[in-house]
Structure 1
Amino acid sequence: MTSTDTSKIAKSHVLKDFLIENLPLMSYDSSFGSSPSFPRFDLFARDYLQFAEHELLQLKNDSSKIEHIHLINCVSHLKRAIDCQLDVCLHVLNIKVFKEKNLGFNAKLNFFKAAGLFNSFSLNRFNTIRNKMEHHYQIPKIEDIESYFDFVSAFVSVLESMINMLCNYSEIFLTNDDHANRKTRDTFAIQYSFDDIPQITYSITKKSLKEYVSNPPSFEFAKYPEEREEVEVTVTSEERDEFPYFLKVLLLLARKDTFASDKYILSQLENLK
């Protein structure tokens, strides 16, 4: 087994270059899931969304003469929904650095942005509404609250989908068969490990197929394959400049041939600082 020298080149750039060159030649092989640990909260983001919706309904039903109470309560519940969902996701990923270093909301949000969960346009719009609601001591307008509610609901759903993907695709295998001469079968694998210090590892394995039998003659398969692993690269959650991109790659490949085309995946892989 040999490993790639990434001391001078960022691991993310090596991974990006490999996938851009090889992804169009590779096909989905298999995947495995995990059962990550969830926090034992009394309330979760969906509960706070329900509370916020209740306040909106109270407002529309005109059940109180002090309407701004419902508006302000709604903002508070939506803020708790966001904070709760971020903390749930970080707990599931087993990433403790944000709590250990007392990193706040923006640091958490930027992590998930770097992992490809949100784009700059949606986050700018989201933060504009959030700042208007939370930091100017103004009574919000009902139309602003409804927009904010929609954004937070989408925010919660996006992070839920990430957790669901990791539950089903924490390890992914792609293969590249040399159909021209049937002498090689290369495998690319990427895996999320929910260790005390989480890590993501990708490996490239080359198999030389030396002997074949036909049974029946129309189906040819390898006998006694010789396997040699060429590359294995790991990043941990403590590598804050590298880890989000590896997570982004894993989540993109989990969508291959189902929710995303290779063209889309390649375009997203290019987005690396």
Structure 2
Amino acid sequence: MEDIVSGFKSIGMDWTKIVVFSNMGNWLGLNHKFAISPKEFLRYAKTDYKGKDTRALINALSNAKRAMDCQVDLFIQSIGLKHSGKFPAEVDNYIKINSTESNGNKNYRLIEALGVSPAGLIGRYRELRNKLEHFYETPDSQLVKESIELAELLISTIDNAMRSFSFSTLTSGKIDTDDTNGALHISYSSDAGELELEFYSQLKFDTEEFVSKVVLTPEHCLYMPLMKTCLLVGTEIGWDIAVIELIAAINPNIPPKSIYPVLEYA
């Protein structure tokens, strides 16, 4: 913790005037694979649904649920966590503070807290899961159809966030001007499941004054706010809120209303 505190102090950034550079050209997105992919389960569900008999509908419904769970678990693994739902205390606390759902599957609550999937979509999944767990009659064909559509939408939404994940650089000035004063570069090692922070006292096209580097694991309180910033900067949706939340986590003394982040592409 001391290393990261000294890192932030050494670069002297003005957190109220942040320019965020998305370095998408240096990254191919988040990636993780299971033996059977979410899209395969979805394809099975669509094939099963064509049968229309009781067995076909039950199988279609089960595979639609598997498709959703598989996609969510794949995402959880890709950001350095175990999909079992046994998260570090700091991640549990992040979910508690940022998720609109007060209970339920923690994996789904986390993707909502990170801004990867809207609360409404997660709410629909929760309703579906409750029906599945207490359903001992022939599934309604319309319910099965809606379940498959929900699975397809959830897979597409999370897939897009994973592809758009971007290394990001935060500066307190534009790189091509004289007003740059300190910079923070955020990158991610998918193999290690760690975020890497590089601190610069100056960062311009022709000048780099490197100060230090810190590696963070999910046990650190800044891991999730940093991860959310990299996820949403790439999608261009909700990125500004993510940056404001990150700055508030770094320096709680800065009023959120005084922060005006700007997004550019490096």
Task: Name the TM-score, length of structure 1 as normaliser.
Answer: 0.65
Equivalent of residue 267 in structure 1, options 241, 256, 261: 241
Q: Tell me how far 1:90 sits from its aligned partner.
A: 3.5
For residues 85 and 43 of structure 2, the distance between their equivalents in structure 1, rounded to whole angstroms, comes to 31
Equivalent residue number for residue 227 of structure 1? 209
Displacement, 1:191? 0.9
Q: Does 1:200 align with 2:181?
A: no
- Cα displacement (A) at 1:86: 2.8
Deviation at 1:269, TM superposition (A): 4.5
More strand by share: 1
Secondary structure of the corresponding residue to residue 219 of structure 2: coil
Q: What residue in structure 2 maps to residue 39 of structure 1? A: 33
Q: How does 1:101-250 map to 2 (within 5 A)?
A: 101=86, 106-166=105-165, 169=166, 171-175=167-171, 176-177=173-174, 182=178, 184=180, 186-196=182-192, 198-207=193-202, 225=207, 227-229=209-211, 234-239=215-220, 242-250=222-230
Q: Aligned-pair distance for 1:200?
A: 1.7
Question: For residue 75 of structure 1, what is the aligned residue in structure 2?
Answer: 61
Q: Provide the alpha-carbon RMSD of the alignment.
A: 3.8
For residue 248 of structure 1, report the CA deviation from its aligned partner: 0.7
Q: Hey, what's the Cα distance between the residues in 1 that align with 2:187 and 2:176?
A: 27
Please tell me the residue identity of whatever aligns with 1:243.
Y
Report SS of the residue matched to 1:118. Answer: coil
CA contact (8 A) 1:112 1:244 kept: no
Structure number with larger C-alpha Rg: 1
Verify the 8 A CA contact 1:183 1:208 in the aligned structure 2: no
Find the aligned partners of 1:102 and 1:173 in 2 and give their Cα distance: 27
SS in 1 for 2:33: coil
- Taking the aligned partners of 1:38 and 1:202, their CA distance within structure 2 comes to 22
Pair 80,179 (structure 1): closer, same or farther in 2 beyond 3 Å: closer
Report the CA distance between 1:185 and its aligned residue.
5.5
Distance in 2 separating the partners of 1:185 and 1:192: 24
Q: 1:142 to 1:107 in 2, by over 3 A?
A: same
Cα distance 1:242–1:226, how it changes in 2: closer, same or farther (>3 A)?
closer
Distance (Å, rounded) in 2 between the aligned partners of 1:77 and 1:189: 41
Question: Is 1:51 aligned to 2:51, yes or no?
Answer: no
Please report how far the alpha carbon of residue 249 of structure 1 lies from its aligned counterpart in structure 2 after TM superposition: 0.9
Q: Which amino acid aligns with 2:154?
A: F
Where does residue 63 of structure 1 map in the other structure?
Answer: none
Distance 1:192 1:48, change over 3 A: same
Question: Aligned pairs, how many?
Answer: 225
Partners of 2:180 and 2:124 lie apart in 1 by 49
Shift of 1:72: 1.0
Give 1:128 shift: 0.7
Task: Give SS of 1:22's match.
Answer: coil
Q: What is the identity percentage for the equivalent residue pairs of Structure 1 and Structure 2? A: 19
Stretches of structure 2 that go unaligned for 5 or more consecutive residues are: 89-103, 250-266
Partner AA of 1:164 in structure 2:
R
Structure 2: distance between partners of 1:268 and 1:29: 14
Q: Is the 8 A contact 1:191 1:201 kept in 2?
A: yes
Q: Cα 1:186–1:193, aligned 2, differ >3 Å: closer, same or farther?
A: same
